[in-house]
Each structure stands twice: as structure tokens, then as C-alpha cells.
Amino acid sequence: MAKIEIKNVTKSFIDPDGKIMNAVKKTSLTVNDGEVVVIIGPSGSGKSTLLRTVNLLGAPDTGSILFDGVDITKNNADTRKLREEVGMVFQQFNLFPHLTVLDNITLAPIKVKKMKKDEAEKLAMELLNKVGLADKANSHPNQLSGGQQQRVAIARALAMKPKAMLFDEPTSALDPEMIKEVLDVMLSLAKEGMTMLLVTHEMGFAKAAADKIVFMDHGEIIEESSPEEMFSNPKSERTRDFLQHIL
């Protein structure tokens, strides 16, 4: 079970000039168990900010987030437990450059879950097989291509056996020819029934895998519907405008 409920969440930042910027305005969104929800929208629309509130990397200012019915924004909530259960993949991969691929994957299981080293390595090898990089176990991240790094990053997140996964523009930093290998891994995850919340510009992926697409602009959710609806018959003018520009 993994259900994410974002309720009336707001998040503001102070920009370098000291002005307050409302990145996310009173926004609610629900991701049901096993669902794949894709957030789209122009840059600066608050997509990543909203995504990052879910594992409290950028905790919301107001509102609440429920994970499996438990309010994780309460003061006494177990943030670390939440982060064990929600994996995250970043635009810039953020692999640990001083560790081998294998050690990147086993670090958290060993340190956080107190898993035995050989057990963690066995798990890591299984995951590397899954993302097609078993032969790279002893390489360092800087010896891998961007696409390979991102696949390792996915394996690293999966090693914590998360109930849900967050993807923050996972293919935006990749060269075009490497996007597919990453999307394939994500597609297979979606097929396995992983609960996923993504920010992406890959409309092909959204069409193929998403149960729901959310269009955000200026910190608000403008429209929320199934892929078919969204792409063939967008309700709002702004959505139509945006889709016209990217499709």
C-alpha cells in the first residue's frame, strides 16, 4: 500500500532580492496505490517544489501531506521512516562520485536499514541486473554515461525497497539518445505496479504509463485528467497553449 495525499500545500521561497515567491499555492493532489501520476507544466511553475514536499526535502509551509493516511508534516512524524519508503530520483542523478556503483547502491541499505553487507550486495546486483548494468558494479559514476548514471540512481533508490517513487525531471539532463534507456526502466517499474509521482517533459512516457496527468502553472494545478483527456481535449486555455508548444 502506498497512497500519497497532498492537501492544501503551500510553499514559498525568498528570492535573492528578498522578495517572497509563492512557488506552490494551496495545492491538493492524490496519488493512489499503484498509480502513476505525471506533473507537467512550464518551468518555474512549481512542479519540482510540489514533488519535493512529498519526502520533505522541501517541507511545505502550510497544508499537510498524508502517506498511507499518516500525516507526515506533523512535528512528531518519523521523517526518516518516510524517506526509507519513498525513493527519489533527481535530474542531476546525484550519485556519490567517491563510491563505486555497487557502494552507491548498498550505502543506504547498510547504514539505514542495517542490512548485512553481503545481503545488500546481493540485492544491489539484482537491481543492477534489472536496470541492465550488472557489468558496471565496480565502476565509478564518472566512468558511466548520463543514462547509465540515472539507471544506477534508480537502482539506488529501489534498494531501499520503497513503496513509492518520486522522479524529478529524470531525463532532462540526458542526451537524447540516452533518454529511452531510462524511460524503459521507468516503464517497467510502472508496469510492476510501483506508485509513482513524476515531473517530466516526456509526453510519450506520460501517454504510455500515466494514470493521471496534472498540469501546473504559476504554482497551481490548472487541470488534472487522464492522458487521453489531457492530450486530446484539454479543458483550459493555458493547458492547450502549453501542450501546443511542446507537442
Partner 1 sequence: MKDFEKMPVKEEKPNHPTITMTDGVLIPKKGNKRILSSWMMTFIGAIALLLFLIIFKADPYRKIFFFVIKGTPTTFEITIAAIIGAVIIGTLTGIGSVSNNRLITSLCGVYVELIRGIPLLVQLMFLYFALGSIIHMEGNIAAIVALSICFGAYMGEIVRAGIQAIPKGQTEAATALGLTKAQTFMHVILPQTIKIVLPAIGNEFISMLKDSSLVSVLALSDILKKGREYISRTFLSLQTMLIVALIYLIFTLVLSRLVGLMEERLHKNG
Interface residues with partner 1 (CB under 8 A)?
Answer: 12-16, 20-21, 55, 57-58, 61, 80-81, 83-84, 86-88, 90, 92, 94-98, 107-108, 111-112, 140, 142-143, 153, 156-157, 160, 173
In the complex, the smallest distance separating the C-beta of residue 57 from partner 1, rounded to whole angstroms, is 6
3-state secondary structure at position 57: coil
Considering all CA atoms of the chain, what is the largest pairwise distance in Å, rounded to the nearest integer? 55
In the complex, the smallest distance separating the C-beta of residue 94 from partner 1, rounded to whole angstroms, is 4
3-state secondary structure at position 58: coil
Residue closer to partner 1, measured from CB, 55 or 239: 55
Query: What nine digits make up the cell of 39?
Result: 506533473
Residue closer to partner 1, measured from CB, 82 or 213: 82
To which H or E segment does residue 62 belong?
strand 62-67
Residue closer to partner 1, measured from CB, 12 or 32: 12
Alpha-carbon Rg for the chain in angstroms? 18
Residue closer to partner 1, measured from CB, 160 or 182: 160
In the complex, the smallest distance separating the C-beta of residue 1 from partner 1, rounded to whole angstroms, is 19
CB atoms within 10 A of CB 246: 9
195-199 and 164-168 beta bridge pairing: parallel
In the complex, the smallest distance separating the C-beta of residue 88 from partner 1, rounded to whole angstroms, is 4
